[in-house]
Amino acid sequence: MPSKPHIIIMADVIASGHHDGKTLSQHLKRIIASANRTHAKHLRSPLTVTLGDEFQGVPRSVAAATEIILWLEHRLRAKPLQEHGQPAPYSLRYVVHEGRIDSALNRERAHGMLGPGLTHARSLLNRKTRDQPRFQFEVDNLPLSRRLRYSFEVLDELGVDFKAEDYAFIEIALAERDAIKVGRKVGRHRTSVERRRRSLKLNAFQATESLIRDLVAEE
């Protein structure tokens, strides 16, 4: 009897060679450990760092995979890698694929499992071309895959100009809509906060995140 398909998430660090390997691996492991604690109920098999700059896992749904990606993107801004006392941020390249896993799911570590779904997800992750999107979705619901890919491309484009020195402000402003409260936290006047929100396109960024969540809400 064929095994049922599962949602598989894989990701790797873009340009990992630009960072100290040990420092990067330790940082990624801390981020992934925190993700597993936060999203434990939404994972069939936990996110597991398989190499120093890659991880994989088995979420319970496309919605769970999407929420994990959004959480990781925020976490990498909130707690960026530090090298020589300075922020040294990195980005992740993601694949979400729906496919078969023939071996039993490992509830402790997403490692050592076999199946065509894992093989295909790995091939998508390893297909590195200049026009390869940072967020790849290939699930059975093809219209949903296409809409998620396009929506994440918009989100990625909106965040492309985010600088490490702005990360703290960005995360505070995304979590709190009241410009006066944000100003108190970052030491800025309300009008300065509002101008910075507009220049960083944070309203559009939040709207796109909401759109992504709406797309998977009834999945």
Q: Which domains does the chain have, with CATH numbers?
A: 5-159 (3.30.70.1230)
SS3 assignment, position 16: helix
SS3 assignment, position 137: strand
User: Is residue 140 within 8 Å of residue 5, measured between CB atoms?
Assistant: yes
SS3 assignment, position 107: coil
CA gyration radius, the chain: 18
Strands 5-13, 54-59: parallel, antiparallel or unpaired by DSSP?
antiparallel
Cα 67 from Cα 61, distance rounded (Å)? 10
Low-confidence residues of the chain: pLDDT under 50: 1
Residues 38-79: pLDDT tens digits?
999 999 999 999 888 999 999 999 999 999 999 999 999 999
